[in-house]
Structure 1
Amino acid sequence: MTETARITTPFTRESTAAEVVAGISLSGKRAVVTGGGSGIGVETARALAAAGAEVTLAVRAAQAGEEAARDITATTGNQQVRVALLDLADPASVAAFATAWYGPLDILVGNAGVMAAPETRTPQGWELQFATNHLGHFALARGLHRALALAEDGARVVSVSSAAHLQSPVVFEDIHFDRRPYDPWLAYGQSKTANVLFGVEAGKRWASDGITVNALMPGAIRTNLQRHVSQEELDALRTRAGGGGPQWKTTEQGAATSVLVATSPLLEGVGGRYFEDCQEAAPHEEGGPRRGYAPYAVDPEAAARLWQVSEDMLDGCGWIVEGQG
């Protein structure tokens, strides 16, 4: 991924989001966390709020978002926790969110997603996981580009990926499973590879605007994300991930790497990289545990191609917010 030395930190897979952000002040900073109403999104938002940031929970379900906001305010004392509706699979919702945003944005955490869903297509004919996990976040980040560029001390974009990206590259010849049989895990893996490739290309394109973009694997956490997955499938995945059985994290631990990427001074000016367990990851070893990044996920040519393909898809359907890209 990079010729430079990998970034190491004093934190581990057991570290929590609160421990990672301890001692860091985000007073005066503004953050958006997609999927901030549940799972690791809540704990990511809580840690940012505890450090003093104004945090907007971008959620599909208003009630869940409001409940999460009240809980975060109660536990942190931060009164600047807001809720805004966002459905990443709905072009009108993405455009409305980006258009309504006013002023600078310091941190954007692309945390929301769907996993291993049954075959579902958006009204545009796009496979749902790719549309939600990648295209929706891609459109949102582009729509908020101007706000990110306005951040006084530079902005950070956090792209939450997964070790599942090791299951599939982006299959440019048939992204939406129009010709090959649909496989929920291949579709999910492809979308997670796209999350990493987005960080590579956006990090390159936006560096001159003071915007850094990095991707990460949060770890194995039991959340609503796995609602389409059987317990047997989950246990098998966790076994392959650790080589010795399930290695679950708490939601507080699962949010730690997102918060690290969003806030750590060690990542100042660093972009286009992939992190896991609060460290910059190494390349994946073929046949080894499900760790590290696949070469195809950090290939600059694939990243540039995905950017263009994504622009073409979105532009034809009105997803690009005028003047913000």
Structure 2
Amino acid sequence: MTTRITTPFTAESTAADVMAGVRLTGRRAIVTGGSSGIGVETARALADAGAEVTLAVRDLAAGQRVARDIMTIAGNEQVLVTPLDLADQDSVTAFVTGWTGPLHILVDNAGVMGPALTRTPEGWELHFATNHLGHFAPATGLHPALAAADGARVVSVSSSQHRLSPVVFEDVHFEHRPYDPQTAYGQSKTANALFAVEAAKRWAMTASPSTPSCPAWSSPT
């Protein structure tokens, strides 16, 4: 049986609308790509609500500028910046192993869109490597920290562009088919949505009273 999830919010709702009346004092959050775009607004909204927010970013200087702005506007000094390059598995590993303590909110927001065919050192196509695999590793690696928190949540930011392509498991990395950046982006966004569905299913099933569940939600951009 499928249960439809509904919300009172629309495409015109702002972060402030969504967070109205919500207090997150004592909660810890990570926002990947928190130095630009919707990552900045997400981080600002979480900080406004009182959360400790870590901006996980490639550009530390940009992240630090954003952190200063958020701390000034939100009046919250708990805005941290840490390096994370989702296309670099060494960077991902260092990020995961460097985290200590519980984690209440993980917003998988960062991503790339539209570059020419680019491969990581592993030979992975960049959209899929960054947007999906780069988030899959931290989310699963940080699962113990999420499980240690009270009612943790993972947000996997997808896009309506997922309609452009399913995940082509036979050729995920465009080794045997013509490369198209829009198709590659769409495939990665489909993977984001599928990850949210499966993570919510598996992590809710393994939850116990001593190990709170940490469902994942897919958020369209």
Match status 1:33 vs 2:31: yes
Distance in 1 (CA, whole Å) between partners of 2:124 and 2:5 is: 37
Per-residue deviation, 1:143: 1.1
| Secondary structure at the counterpart of residue 195 of structure 2 | helix
Rg larger for: 1
Match status 1:43 vs 2:25: no
Per-residue deviation, 1:80: 0.2
Instruction: Normalising by structure 2, report the TM-score.
Output: 0.95
Mark the runs of 5 or more structure 2 residues left unpaired by the alignment: 208-212
| Secondary structure at the counterpart of residue 211 of structure 1 | coil
Distance in 1 (CA, whole Å) between partners of 2:43 and 2:152 is: 16
Match status 1:162 vs 2:162: no
Instruction: Normalising by structure 1, report the TM-score.
Output: 0.65
Mark the runs of 5 or more structure 1 residues left unpaired by the alignment: 219-325
Match of 2:215 in 1: 212
Distance in 2 (CA, whole Å) between partners of 1:23 and 1:9 is: 16
Distance in 1 (CA, whole Å) between partners of 2:2 and 2:40 is: 35
Return the match for 2:73 from 75, 78, 89: 75
Per-residue deviation, 1:205: 1.1
Distance in 1 (CA, whole Å) between partners of 2:80 and 2:219 is: 25
1:1-325 correspondence to structure 2 within 5 Å: 3-4=2-3, 6-151=4-149, 153-207=150-204, 208-209=206-207, 210-218=213-221
Distance in 2 (CA, whole Å) between partners of 1:3 and 1:14 is: 27
Distance in 2 (CA, whole Å) between partners of 1:62 and 1:50 is: 22
Per-residue deviation, 1:8: 2.7
Match of 1:227 in 2: none
Sort the Cα spacing of 1:9 and 1:200 in 2 relative to 1 into closer, same or farther, 3 A. Answer: closer
Q: Identify the structure with bigger relative contact order (alpha carbons < 8 Å, sequence gap 6+).
A: 1
Report the residue type matching 1:184 in the other structure: P
Report the residue type matching 1:186 in the other structure: T
Distance in 2 (CA, whole Å) between partners of 1:95 and 1:117 is: 25
Identity of aligned residues (%): 69
How large is the RMSD of aligned CA atoms in angstroms?
A: 0.9
Residue by residue over 1:192-212, the C-alpha shift from the partner in whole angstroms, topping out at 9 and shown as x without a partner, is 000011011111111133111
Per-residue deviation, 1:17: 0.2
Distance in 2 (CA, whole Å) between partners of 1:166 and 1:102 is: 37
